[in-house]
Homo-oligomer: A and B are copies of this chain.
Amino acid sequence: MRRDLVRFFNPRSIAIVGASQDLGTISGQPLKHLTSHHFRGRLFPVNPKYSEVLGVKCYPSLEALPETPDLALILINAARVAEALKQCGRKGVPYAIIFSSGFSEVGGAGADLQRQLAAIAGEYGIGVVGPNCQGMINVADGVFAGFGSVFGADYEPGGVSMVSQSGGFGYSVMNLAAKDGGLNFRQIVTTGNEVGVSSLDFIDYFIDDAQTSVIVCYIEGLKDAHRLLAVGSRALEVRKPILAWKVGNTEQGRKAAVSHTANLGGAMELYRGAFRQAGIIQVEDIQDVTDIGRAFRCGRLPAGNRVGIVTISGGAGILMTDECISRGMEVPQLASATTEKLRAIIPSFGSLLNPVDVTAAIFNDPDLIRKTLRAMLDDPEIDSIAMLNASLQGELATKVAAEIAAVAGQCTKPIFMAWSAREEVNRDAYALLDAAGVPHYRSPVRCGRALAALSYYAGALARDQVRRAETMPVISGGAARQALAGKTDDVSEHAAKRILAGYGIAVTREELADSREQAFAMARRIGYPVVLKVQSPDISHKTEAGALRLALASDAEVGTAYDEILRNARAYRADARIEGVLVQQMVVGGIEAILGVVNDEQFGPAVMFGLGGIFAEVLKDVAFRVAPVTQSVALDMIAGIRGHAVLTGARGAAHADIDALADTIVRLSALALDLKDNIAELDINPLFVLARGKGVIAGDALIRTLPRN
């Protein structure tokens, strides 16, 4: 399949299969929009009913065209699309956009039709975009190949490239971001059901496209989500931020996504983890796209997340402080030298603390702002400035803007403005800021959010540098693969733990006993107290079955427990296959965590971490990362859960061995990759996280093998 998409966005000629003379309809619009935007290449309407459309010669078939077009737009009934695509193939057409609906999104016969398209695209090597999409716009070169109200407008070209799985809404986002948000686009494509070229293919192309500086995507579900890490990493390398708007995050939203473009994605938690790993910025509304897109125009990144706030309105300063803090930034104390400088500048009823309130005294002394900004920028405790100008407008506003612009030109720290004067009454001031690369927002909330995104991105770049320098442990899992080969049952605790141990994951000391006497000997070797459990692939709920005994302190207790466990297990399920009774070290103390592997259909192997009990089960307070996971990524994952404080000494507990926990996650991710053809799921529950320096121990484990197809 073609993924060198230069000619897709810059076709020299376009065939419009199913072009209609009724220019308001879906099949009538593309030719109208292409011509009204002065498409510079050749256009070939194809429809046996007409000899011309809109004054352009119309052909009865693709075969009849005088040349091979670079791109075919297919706008005919779903039932006839496969034949048209074959004709494209025979003619050698490299790219086709299939607008028609009625494929996988309707299920059944539609899914069959879509599989046919995939086969034809593969056979002829056609780069197919769609079906069930709304086309493409190359703003810079005036290629408006699609339908919808947005195609009737003109846009200022810029550096933002966007791919959207949604057609109608994708173009709405682009239109509002461009027209009202001042974000200038280079190209935008909608991909619908993605039978051929995927969203990630387009992002890959945008990364290489020299004129693209910011990438935006609207995602319902990525069938090739396993590529997210690699794509994200490439984007970080060339410093092109990716803004991702992922929808279908609730159970019902996900169902709606399937019935829309049939793009079934993994759980939102996996996306959230992968976005974090890949330094992708999550956005959640149209305004986010605009606000964060514009943030990158400042052309600089903060060295850290410490914000200095300067305000002419105390009320806005409070709001901005809340906003920065709640988005993970710091609003630190200023260096005492800075406070001293400010004392000489700011009126006595202002505030010298961060947020610095220069007050409405600005009306009486416009120099206040320049002097204050200079003092703050010199402060080594401050990485960026958020300046709040309330509704300042008029001559004073323009003077103030000029001073801010001048200050911005002489420093390398980002300066962001919250300025609520309306566009219409403050054009001069805003133009000065735009020219100086000072992003400005009408509300402090939006300003804080955009600055936090820039700060997140700077952090992602730094994290990525660390990650690149890390190595993964080299572990040969040959034995594990052999043990799992051909297995279709669940792998029960003892065997699962031997596999974990093979990857260097600490497990409880334990042995599998076939008799009371063996159990005594084992218990003494392991050391009292011990735990006894039945081992059976048919009994997963050991407690419920009465087949688990804790804290056995003597041979006598072990003997009684051994007999009871076997008796109870047989009573619970007479036909259970019993592998023996597990004699196991009893772990005392530690914090109970849960680790898991999911072998996701879209993402591939991923690891999960959460704290035990209600954290994971009731609060769903878990974090995911796609494998491979390095030490720094594992540490970031651990720090990301809400209950993190439990590991760092909350409630009087000892600080847990987080390094060992992270190392175990790293090893589990290595295992997950190594055994990706063998295991569907793996659970370690509980994993005992002991006090710092004491390590972790897997208390129980279960492997669900991959069902053979």
The residues of A with any CB-CB pair to B shorter than 8 Å are 24-26, 29, 78, 101-103, 105-106, 110, 132, 134, 147-150, 152-153, 164-173, 175-176, 179-180, 218, 220, 247-253, 255-257, 259-261, 284-287, 312-319, 321-322, 325-326, 331, 347-349, 351, 353, 355, 357, 359-360, 363-364, 388, 390-394, 396-397, 420-422, 425, 442-446, 613-615, 617-619, 642-643, 645-646, 650-651
A173 CA to B316 CA, complexed, in Å: 10
- In contact, B321 and A148 (Cβ under 8 angstroms): no
> In the docked arrangement, what's the CA distance between A394 and B149, Å?
8
B394 touches A152 (CB 8 A): yes
Q: For A105, list chain B residues within 8 Å (CB).
A: 314, 349
State whether A313 touches B172 (Cβ < 8 A): yes
Q: Is the CB of A619 within 8 A of B619?
A: yes
Complex Cα spacing A106 to B287, Å: 37
Partner of A443 from the list B103, B150, B153, B286 (CB cut-off 8 Å) is B286
Q: Give the residues in chain B near A103, CB-CB below 8 Å.
A: 349
Interface pair B650/A614, CB less than 8 Å apart: yes
Closest 6 CB pairs of A and B: A166-B315, A168-B313, A260-B314, A172-B420, A168-B390, A101-B349
Assembly CA distance A557 to B15 (angstroms): 93
B651 and A250 contacting across the interface, CB-CB below 8 Å: no
Query: When the two chains form their complex, are residues A317 and B256 in contact, meaning their CB atoms are under 8 A apart?
Result: yes
Number of copies: 2
- Kindly list chain B residues whose C-beta atoms are within 8 Å of the C-beta of A618: 643, 645-646, 650-651
Give bound CA distance, A29 to B456, whole Å. 43
Contact B646 A168 (CB under 8 A): no
Contacts of A614 in B (CB 8 A): 614-615, 643, 646, 650-651
Residues of B within 8 A of A619 (CB): 619, 642-643
Cβ A321 vs Cβ B167 within 8 A:
no
**B260→A351 contact, CB < 8 A:** yes
Beta-carbon contact of A420 and B286 below 8 Å: yes
Alpha-carbon gap, A316 to B259, bound state (A): 13
Known: A257-B318, A390-B171, A391-B168. A617 touches B651 (CB 8 A): yes
A525 → chain B closest CB, angstroms: 33
Compute how far the CA of A318 lies from the CA of B218 in the bound complex, rounded to whole angstroms.
12
User: With A166-B314, A259-B351, A315-B164 in contact, do A175 and B102 touch (Cβ < 8 Å)?
Assistant: no
Residue of A26, A347, A391 with highest tally of chain B CB at under 10 A: A391
The answer to whether B256 and A349 touch across the interface, beta carbons within 8 angstroms, is: no
Whether the Cβ atoms of B322 and A253 lie closer than 8 Å is yes
What residues on B are CB-neighbors of A363 within 8 Å?
A: 24-26, 29, 147
Q: Let me know if A360 and B26 touch, CB within 8 A.
A: yes
